C-alpha cells in the first residue's frame, strides 16, 4: 500500500526541523554553547498535571487524563484550550512541545 505525501505544512515543518538540527550540529562542531529557552510552567496545579500526563510515556488520551485527574472530559478539553490560547500553540502536538519546553518530561 502506498502512502500519500504529507500536506505542505507538514513537509515544511519537517524541513525546518531538519535545518534546525543541522544548525545545532554545526554549532556543536564549532564548540559554540547551545541554550534552549524554557517557558515557565503554568501556576495552576491542574494545568501542570494535565501537561505532565500529556507527555507521559504511556501516551494518555484526553479521556484517560480526565479519569486520572478525576475531572470530566470537558474540563480536560477546557484546560487544553486555555493553555493553547495562553501560550499560542495549536493542537495536541503543540501542547506536547510546550510541556517539553517547560521541562516537563515523560513520566
| Residue showing cell 524541513 | 15
Contacts of 80 (CB under 8 A, 6+ apart): 50, 62, 92, 95
Q: Is the pLDDT of residue 32 over 90?
A: no
More confident: 23 or 82:
82
Residues 90-104 have a mean pLDDT of: 87
Q: Where are the alpha helices (DSSP H) in 1-107?
A: 8-30, 45-54, 62-69, 73-87, 91-101
Q: What is the pLDDT of residues 38-72, one digit of tens each?
A: 677 788 999 999 999 999 989 899 999 999 999 99
- How far, in Å, CA of 99 to CA of 96, rounded? 5
Q: How confident is the model at residue 1 (pLDDT cuts 50, 70, 90)?
A: low
Amino acid at each position: 500500500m502506498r502512502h500519500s505525501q504529507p500536506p505542505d505544512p507538514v513537509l515544511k515543518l519537517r524541513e525546518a526541523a531538519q535545518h534546525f538540527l543541522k544548525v545545532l550540529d554545526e554549532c556543536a562542531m564549532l564548540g559554540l554553547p547551545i541554550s534552549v529557552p524554557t517557558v515557565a510552567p503554568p501556576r495552576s496545579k491542574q494545568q501542570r498535571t494535565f501537561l505532565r500526563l500529556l507527555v507521559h510515556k504511556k501516551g494518555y488520551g484526553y479521556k484517560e487524563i480526565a479519569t486520572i485527574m478525576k475531572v470530566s472530559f470537558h474540563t480536560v478539553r477546557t484546560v487544553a484550550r486555555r493553555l493553547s490560547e495562553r501560550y499560542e500553540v495549536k493542537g495536541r502536538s503543540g501542547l506536547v512541545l510546550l510541556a517539553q519546553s517547560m521541562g516537563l518530561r515523560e513520566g
